Amino acid sequence: MDAPETTHGAMTPDGKRLVTLIPGDGVGPEVVDAARRIVEATGAPVAWDEQQAGGEVFKQGLPSGVPQATIDSIHRTRVVLKGPLATPVGFGEKSANVTLRKLFETYANIRPVREMPGVPTPYSGRGIDLVVVRENVEDLYAGIEYMQTPGVAEALKLISHKGCEKIVRLAFEFARSEGRKTVHCATKSNIMKLTEGTLKRTFEAIAPEYPDIEAHHIIVDNAAHQLVKRPEQFDVIVTTNMNGDILSDLTSALVGGLGFAPSANIGDDIAIFEAVHGSAPKYAGKDVINPTAVILTAAMMLRHIGLFDQASAVEQATVVTWEEGDARTRDVVGDAGAATTSAFANAVIANLGRTSDRYPARVRTPLQMPRLNLPPDLVKPETRRVVGLDVFVESALSPNELGPSIERAVDGSAVALKTISSRGTQVYPSAGAVTDTVDAFSCRLMQIDGGTDLTDDQTVDVLARVGAEHRWVHVEKLQEFDGVSGFTKAQGED
């Protein structure tokens, strides 16, 4: 069997690749132990640096759920195999999982699903074999939220050109490394033209650099529909964080559920491997949960550190175990006659070295991580201009009362009121829509003297004038870059 090909990451004195192992919470220790025993049985030159994170750490009073020793270990080893982590009710505010992903900028979440012989599903026989590549650090899941008023909540969906370029290139590189032929980019760019549209435009700009791979854009709701109707048409799907979360849970259900869904969180330098499923606390310590997802995750981890033969051995032995059906866990066969977690792992170990004709091993090449070194200000326009402001105010007035009041307030300033909208729909001047209003309104104030930049002094003057009459709660600069609007229009706005 081959030796590790990666150059970075810690090695033991006897030449084994060190991997940080986090057993995790609930069923984590059982399934991680199954994976660990199987990896060891392949003879892979891997040594474990066992560390803690999650439930017990929160309970010891550490609000992040991730101790410094674990962080230090990951910096050393650069590769992690982990079980699920729980956030116990009443401890910690943030999930330890999200902390780990963000701390190590693992910007891509790779979630493959493939039909498992011997695991009956409504899709059996259709050859599902696809991968969702989900952006993992941006989008609504950054969790940047505010209460605009006591009754209106806001979340910021930040999508960067840089983040899109990284995930798109990674998706194409991943497709190449697996010999896959098609990449679909799933977005909601028809509605969110700037945020989701950035991923679509970046995808379309980069796709020609990968002429060996077919590239298609698909609207994400259609992707969900097509995934249920004809999932076998998909190969790789690249998408934004929240879309990817939802689509990848859907895809795991197509091949038998969470027990069969492995995943990798990949960053430039560090990769964290974990099953998609959580800690399933109801089954903790009972030796009944399906360890397949974590075992397939361990195979992804082995491949990542260059141990392709051992990775295939683990994967193929797992497939043979399911195909022959002599050890099947209760999520597939129910309680009667189900194999325990440890018995399943023993069966996989016994099957090491065997291969399945129905699940041929892919011909893979090492993933070429895109080394982009992109500057933070990646997109540099030649011209830019602030052309107005959206000032959000809290008000219980009707639009027809608020409109004239704002017009009077800004009379004599550098701006004039263009429209007022309520949750994205123009309500003043009335465009004829029947809109139920709430107590947050966005007042679009456009610069009167077009052609110059609205200055900060003028902005402060406008806010003071509006603030003298109403409570303003949020402001957005309306900008143009190279003459193109950097803002969208409200529904009904001309």
Amino acid at the residue 486: G
Question: Minimum distance between the CB of residue 88 and ligand NAD, rounded to whole angstroms?
Answer: 8
Each as own residue / partner, the long-range contacts of residues 343-348 (CB below 8 Å, 24 or more positions apart, any chain) are: 344/34, 344/290, 344/291, 344/292, 345/33, 345/34, 345/35, 345/37, 345/38, 345/291, 345/295, 347/321, 348/34, 348/38, 348/295, 348/314, 348/317, 348/318, 348/321
Closer CB to ligand NAD, 277 or 444, in the complex: 277
Stretch that binds ligand NAD, among 105-113, 233-241, 289-297, 391-399 (CB under 6 A): 289-297
In the chain, the N- to C-terminal Cα span, in Å, equals 66
Closer CB to ligand NAD, 136 or 279, in the complex: 279
Q: Which residues of 45-55 are buried (b: 16+ CB within 10 A; e: fewer)?
A: bbbbbebbbbb
Token representation of residue 44: 């892979």
What kind and span of H or E run contains 184? strand 182-187
Establish if 34 lies at the interface with ligand NAD (CB under 6 A).
no
What DSSP character marks residue 42?
T
Give the residue, chosen from 91, 283, 481, 487, that forms a contact with ligand NAD under the rule CB under 6 A.
283
Establish if 327 lies at the interface with ligand NAD (CB under 6 A).
no
| DSSP-derived 3-state class of residue 299 | helix
Q: Which residue has the tokens 């397939």?
A: 296
Give the residue, chosen from 173, 245, 274, 390, that forms a contact with ligand NAD under the rule CB under 6 A.
274
- Residues 37 and 296 sit within 8 Å (Cβ to Cβ): no
Using only C-alpha atoms, the chain has a radius of gyration, in whole angstroms, of 26
Question: Minimum distance between the CB of residue 52 and ligand NAD, rounded to whole angstroms?
Answer: 14
Establish if 278 lies at the interface with ligand NAD (CB under 6 A).
yes
Establish if 23 lies at the interface with ligand NAD (CB under 6 A).
no
Establish if 176 lies at the interface with ligand NAD (CB under 6 A).
no
Establish if 29 lies at the interface with ligand NAD (CB under 6 A).
no
User: From CA 290, how far away is CA 330, in angstroms rounded?
Assistant: 7
Give the residue, chosen from 70, 73, 87, 321, that forms a contact with ligand NAD under the rule CB under 6 A.
87
Give the residue, chosen from 115, 165, 173, 331, that forms a contact with ligand NAD under the rule CB under 6 A.
331
Closer CB to ligand NAD, 32 or 302, in the complex: 32
User: From CA 480, how far away is CA 373, in angstroms rounded?
Assistant: 27
Question: Minimum distance between the CB of residue 34 and ligand NAD, rounded to whole angstroms?
Answer: 10
User: From CA 221, how far away is CA 219, in angstroms rounded?
Assistant: 6
Establish if 149 lies at the interface with ligand NAD (CB under 6 A).
no
Establish if 328 lies at the interface with ligand NAD (CB under 6 A).
no
Stretch that binds ligand NAD, among 83-91, 112-120, 141-149, 408-416 (CB under 6 A): 83-91
Closer CB to ligand NAD, 279 or 442, in the complex: 279
Question: Minimum distance between the CB of residue 220 and ligand NAD, rounded to whole angstroms?
Answer: 21
Give the residue, chosen from 206, 289, 302, 454, that forms a contact with ligand NAD under the rule CB under 6 A.
289
- List contacts with ligand NAD (CB under 6 A): 84-87, 97, 258-259, 274, 277-283, 289-290, 293, 331
